């Protein structure tokens, strides 16, 4: 399953996760100290019940974990420009 990753509209520390049909799966949140946590909603948990939710050392590491459990690809949406 491929997943689209997009910055949350009002928050530079959160990325929303959706499937290719636009259904939400949860989000990734950056905590202080550059720790990244995967926060899955009910649908996301049913797709990735054994996924390591964090902390992860980078956004890329969190996305790699998601790809491992979905056997798909995470794609950044066009609104990721300007990412710190």
For 13-46, write each residue's pLDDT tens digit: 999 999 999 999 999 999 999 999 999 999 999 9
How far is Cα 84 from Cα 15, in angstroms, rounded to an integer? Answer: 13
pLDDT bracket for residue 79 (50, 70, 90):
low
- The pLDDT assigned to 81 comes to 46
Cβ-contact 34, 65 below 8 angstroms: no
For 55-64, write each residue's pLDDT tens digit: 999 999 999 9
This prediction has a pTM of 0.88
Cβ-contact 28, 4 below 8 angstroms: no
**Cα→Cα distances 67→6, 33, 34, 38, 73, Å:** 15, 24, 20, 12, 6
Q: Which domain, by its residues, includes 21?
A: 3-80
Q: How many domains does the chain have?
A: 1
How far is Cα 43 from Cα 59, in angstroms, rounded to an integer? Answer: 21
pLDDT at 1 over 70: yes
């Amino acid at each position: 399953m491929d997943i689209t990753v997009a910055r949350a509209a009002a928050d530079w520390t959160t990325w929303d996760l959706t499937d290719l049909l636009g259904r939400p799966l949860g989000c990734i949140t950056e905590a202080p100290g550059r720790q990244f946590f995967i926060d899955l909603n009910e649908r996301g948990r049913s797709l990735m019940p054994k996924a390591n939710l964090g902390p992860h050392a980078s956004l890329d590491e969190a996305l790699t974990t998601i790809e491992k459990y979905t056997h798909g690809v995470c794609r950044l949406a066009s609104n990721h420009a300007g990412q710190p």
